Amino acid sequence: MEIQYFDNDDVCAFSSPLDASLATDAGAQNRQLLALRKGFDVAQLTSAEQVHGCNIAIVDSEHVGCGALDINTRIPATDALITNLRGVCLLILTADCVPVVLFDKRQKVIAAVHAGWRGTAQRIAEHTIDKMVSIFGTRPEDVVAAVGPHICGKCFEVGNEVVDAIGQEYVCGTGANGNPTLDLGAANIAQLKSVGVADIYDSGVCTYHCAEWPSWRREKSNVRLGTYIWLKRG
């Protein structure tokens, strides 16, 4: 079951549990299926080689279609994408990490962010907003954000190095193995709020709990859910 975040005259964004990874047999086919169903152009779908870092790419005409159906053409070593080009669908892949989509209602700019614990520690969601501000003149108060399905704070059992990197305030309890559990989604929402984004939707879906959604910790597979956002053509 898809989760729809935005769908108006300007923008559409959603997450789908259908496998979107190009490392599997089904990924390319599912991308094409969703393009037909949802109304975006799969040839303009753009994705990146996600490496759990903090690199942020501005998707211009040279990047359009990178990683659409060929894993070798992805934008290299990048975990967040920003564009103001209409018709270009940005795609983030996750399977427990936090997918975040952003829409600047005034300047008509979108972003898609992959925030694992390392990206969260590097404050990638916050830095994506900063880049939208510096390049496109975004005002954070004009941004609407959505946080997609990710592992929840009761299920994400981590080591102390993760707690030290992200913050004790996001520890929720103790897991089955006696280690702390941590709420990555809350950390990313706090980062967005810290730079002035107030309109934030949280899907509330835990990938580990919900068998419909891909989870690395549950399945240890290459299957990935997709989070898609694009500006509609005028």
Angle at 166 between CA 130 and CA 223, to 5 degrees: 85
Confidence of residue 7 (pLDDT cuts 50, 70, 90): very high
H/E element, 180: strand 180-182
State yes or no: pLDDT of 234 exceeds 90.
Answer: no
Separation between Cα atoms, residue 216 and residue 208, nearest integer Å: 8
Confidence of residue 30 (pLDDT cuts 50, 70, 90): very high
Confidence of residue 1 (pLDDT cuts 50, 70, 90): confident
> For the segment 149-181, what is each residue's pLDDT rounded down to a tens digit?
999 999 999 999 999 999 999 999 999 899 999
> For the segment 85-133, what is each residue's pLDDT rounded down to a tens digit?
999 999 999 999 999 999 999 999 999 999 999 999 999 999 999 999 9
> For the segment 215-228, what is each residue's pLDDT rounded down to a tens digit?
999 999 999 999 99
The answer, as to whether pTM is greater than 0.95, is yes
> For the segment 34-92, what is each residue's pLDDT rounded down to a tens digit?
999 999 999 999 999 999 999 999 999 999 999 999 999 999 999 999 999 999 999 99
Per-residue confidence (pLDDT) for residue 148, from 0 to 100: 98
Q: Structural domains in the chain?
A: 3-231 (3.60.140.10)
Separation between Cα atoms, residue 130 and residue 75, nearest integer Å: 21
For residues 120 and 166, is the Cβ–Cβ distance under 8 A? yes
Q: How far apart, in Å, are the Cα atoms of 24 and each of 31, 216, 217, 221, 230? A: 12, 14, 18, 9, 24
Separation between Cα atoms, residue 77 and residue 153, nearest integer Å: 27
